[in-house]
Structure 1
Amino acid sequence: MKMLAGRLHLKERGLRMETVDVPEPGPDEVLVKVTAAGVCLSDVHLIEGGLTPRLLDGDVVTLGHETAGIVDRLGDRVEGWKPGDRILLQAGQRDRRGTVYTRGVDYDGGWAEYAVARADTLVAIPDDLPFEQACIIPDAVSTPWAAITATAQVKPGDAVAVWGVGGLGAHAVQLLRLIGAAPVIAVDPLAPARERALALGADVALDPSEAGTIRELTGGGLAVALDFAGVPAVREQALTVLGRGGKLVLAGIANQPVTISSDSFFNYLKLSIHGHYGSDPEHVEELVRLARRQRLDLAASISDVLPLADAPAAVERLQRKEGNPIRLILRP
Structure 2
Amino acid sequence: MLAGRLNVATGAFEIEELPVPDPRAGQVRIAVKAAGVCLSDVHLIEGMLNPAHLAGDSVTLGHEVSGVIDELGPGVTRWQPGQRVLLLAGELDAAGRVLTRGVDYDGGWAEYTLASQSTLVAIPDDLPFEQAAIIPDAVSTPWAAVTATAGTRPAQAVGVWGSGGLGAHAVQLLRMIGAAPIIAVDPLPAARDRALEFGADLALDPDDPDLAERVFAESGGLAVAFDFAGVPAVREQAVGCLAPQGKLVLVGLTDQPLTITGGTRFSYLQQQVLGHYGSLAVHIEELVALIRRRRLDFSRSVSGVLPLASAADAVDRLAHKKGNPIRLILRP
Q: State the TM-score bracket (shorter-chain normalisation).
A: over 0.9
C-alpha separation in 2, matches of 1:202 and 1:14? 39
C-alpha separation in 2, matches of 1:106 and 1:181? 36
C-alpha separation in 2, matches of 1:50 and 1:215? 35
C-alpha separation in 1, matches of 2:275 and 2:89? 19
Q: Write the mapping of 1:15-164 to structure 2, written as runs, cut at 5 A.
A: 15-164=13-162
What corresponds to 2:219 in structure 1? 218
What corresponds to 2:313 in structure 1? 313
**Per-residue Cα deviation, 1:14-46 (whole angstroms, up to 9, x for no partner):** 110000001110010000000000000000000
Q: Which amino acid aligns with 1:255?
A: D
C-alpha separation in 2, matches of 1:254 and 1:100? 19
C-alpha separation in 2, matches of 1:181 and 1:244? 17
Q: Which amino acid aligns with 1:275?
A: G
What corresponds to 2:304 in structure 1? 304
Kindly state the Cα deviation for residue 11 of structure 1 after the two structures are TM-superposed. Answer: 1.5
C-alpha separation in 2, matches of 1:263 and 1:68? 45
Taking only aligned residues, the RMSD between alpha carbons, in angstroms, comes to: 0.7
C-alpha separation in 2, matches of 1:96 and 1:113? 28
Which SS does the other structure have where 2:226 is aligned? strand
Kindly state the Cα deviation for residue 215 of structure 1 after the two structures are TM-superposed. Answer: 1.1
Kindly state the Cα deviation for residue 97 of structure 1 after the two structures are TM-superposed. Answer: 3.0
Kindly state the Cα deviation for residue 209 of structure 1 after the two structures are TM-superposed. Answer: 2.7
Kindly state the Cα deviation for residue 90 of structure 1 after the two structures are TM-superposed. Answer: 0.2
Tell me if structure 1 keeps the 8 A contact 2:91–2:98. Answer: yes
Q: TM-score, normalised by structure 1?
A: 0.98
Kindly state the Cα deviation for residue 96 of structure 1 after the two structures are TM-superposed. Answer: 3.0
Kindly state the Cα deviation for residue 65 of structure 1 after the two structures are TM-superposed. Answer: 0.2
What corresponds to 1:6 in structure 2? 4
**Per-residue Cα deviation, 1:175-195 (whole angstroms, up to 9, x for no partner):** 000111000110001000000
Q: Which amino acid aligns with 1:204?
A: L
Which SS does the other structure have where 1:168 is aligned? helix
Tell me if structure 1 keeps the 8 A contact 2:78–2:117. Answer: no
Tell me if structure 1 keeps the 8 A contact 2:36–2:65. Answer: yes
| Residue segments in structure 1 that go unaligned for 5+ positions in a row | none
What corresponds to 2:330 in structure 1? 330
Q: Which amino acid aligns with 2:326?
A: I
Sequence identity of aligned pairs in percent? 64
| Residue segments in structure 2 that go unaligned for 5+ positions in a row | none
**Per-residue Cα deviation, 1:224-246 (whole angstroms, up to 9, x for no partner):** 00000010000000011100100
C-alpha separation in 1, matches of 2:122 and 2:112? 17
What corresponds to 1:242 in structure 2? 242
Runs of 4+ displaced beyond 3 Å = none
Q: TM-score, normalised by structure 2?
A: 0.98
C-alpha separation in 1, matches of 2:16 and 2:160? 39
